[in-house]
Amino acid sequence: MKEHDIDCCSRPVSPGPKRISYGLNDVIFAPYGEQWREMRKLFIVELLSMRRVQATSYAREQQVDRMIARLSRAAPATLVKMVVKETLRLHPPATLLVPRETVRDVRIGGYDVPARTRVFVNAWAIGRDPASWADAEESHPDRFEGSDVDYNGAHFELVPFGAGRRICPGLAMGETNVTFTLANLLYCFDWALPEGMAAEDVSMEEAGGLTFHQKMPLVLVPTGYHHRTATA
C-alpha cells in the first residue's frame, strides 16, 4: 500500500460484493476509475466528512457534557484513545481488508504481479507482527503513550481501516462513534464481572463474519456512577 497503492487500487468482481453493492455501485466495492473517484468525493463531502460529523456534535455534547468536562480536567485524557488503538491493533474489524486488484503489471516484494491480480492485506497479522510490536499478542494500551502511531493510513504497522486511495471513507465517523460510546460507558458506570467469575474466565475467542465479534458474549455487571458537580 505504501509503494504500490496506485497499482493495486481496483477491486475484483465477485458475486457476493456485486449483489450487496447493487451492481458495484458503491464506494467500497466499485472498480477504480473516474466514476469511483467522483462517487467517493461526493460520498465523503456529503455524508462522511468531518464537517458532517461535527454538524451533529450538539446532540453528542448534550448527552456527554459532564463527561467531556471531567475528561478535560483529568488531562492527559488519552487513555480512551490508547484503548481504542490497542483494541483495533489486536482485533481489527476484519482479518483481511477488502481485496484490492492490480490495474497494471507491477513488481512487489521481488515478485512480478500481473494486472487484474487480487491483492489481500492481512490487517490482523500486521497488527500482531513482532517485528513492529513488542509483546504483540498482549494487550498493552500504554504502548501508544507518547507515540504518534495512528490508524489514519500513515503508519503501515496499524491499518485496520486500510491506507491509500481505498482507505475506509467512514474512518472519522467510526472513530468518533466508538470513542464517544466507550468514554460514555466508562464515565457513567462502574463495571464488574458476574459473581464467581474471574478475568481468566473471559473468552477472547473471535468468530468470523463480515466483521469480527466475540464468539462468546461478554457479560458484565454495570453499576451507575453518580458524579458530583460543583455548584456556584
- Binding site listing for heme: 168
Q: Is 107 exposed, middle or buried (0-12, 13-18, 19+ CB in 10 A)?
A: exposed
Alpha carbons 232 and 224: distance in angstroms, whole number = 25
The annotated binding site is made up of: 168
- Stretch (H or E) spanning 68: helix 65-73
What is the three-class DSSP state of 53? helix
What is the three-class DSSP state of 214? strand
Radius of gyration, CA atoms only, the chain: 21
Specify the amino acid at residue 50. Answer: M
Nearest to 160 by CA among 78, 86, 102: 86
The angle subtended at Cα 99 by Cα 105 and Cα 89, nearest 5°, is 120
Cα dist from 119 to 26, 68, 97, 157, 206, whole Å: 20, 42, 10, 18, 24
Alpha carbons 231 and 62: distance in angstroms, whole number = 19
